[in-house]
Amino acid sequence: MNYITKSQLALYNGQDRDEVWVAYKGKIYDVSQSRLWRDGKHYEHWAGQDLTEELADAPHTERVFEKFVQVGLLK
Ligand code: HEM
């Protein structure tokens, strides 16, 4: 699996390029196809970073990641 640094991940915030990535529990997912992550924004959260701790505030579980491709591991 591909290792991705925090600063590389930060480029995938939905603003700097078209692809939108989010890190959760060390895994990085490509959520570009999600309408709910358009332009990198998901409710008050921004893509391009590790949102592991923020999931506790969500009205859903980590099962939301099941349909997305894992693009790498957070270094
Ligand atoms: C205030 C916090 C949040 C709210 C209100 C929120 C709300 C929602 C809602 C309503 C959905 C669609 C219904 C569902 O799948 O249950 C959703 C999907 C999703 N959420 Fe959240 N969420 C929050 C935080 C987060 C965080 C912190 C993450 C990442 C760690 C996250 C990742 C996702 C993903 C990947 C999906 C699936 C998108 C799709 O299927 O297109 N959410 N969220």
CATH number, domain with residue 20: 3.10.120.10
Give the range of the structural domain holding residue 70, as residue numbers without chain letter: 3-50+59-74
Residues whose CB falls within 8 Å of the CB of residue 35, separated by 6 or more in sequence, listed in order? none
Pairing of strands 41-42, 3-4: unpaired
Q: Pocket of ligand 1, candidates 29, 35, 36: which has the most ligand atoms within 8 Å of its Cβ, to mutate?
A: 36
Average confidence (pLDDT) over 18-32: 98
User: How many domains does the chain contain in total?
Assistant: 1
What single DSSP character describes residue 32?
T
Q: How many angstroms is it from 1 CA to the middle of ligand 1?
A: 25
26 has a pLDDT exceeding 90:
yes
Q: What is the mean pLDDT of residues 35-64?
A: 98
C-alpha to C-alpha distance for 37 and 33, rounded to whole angstroms: 8
Q: Is pTM beyond 0.75 here?
A: yes
State whether the beta carbon of 56 lies less than 6 angstroms from ligand 1.
Answer: no
**What is the model's pLDDT at position 1?**
85
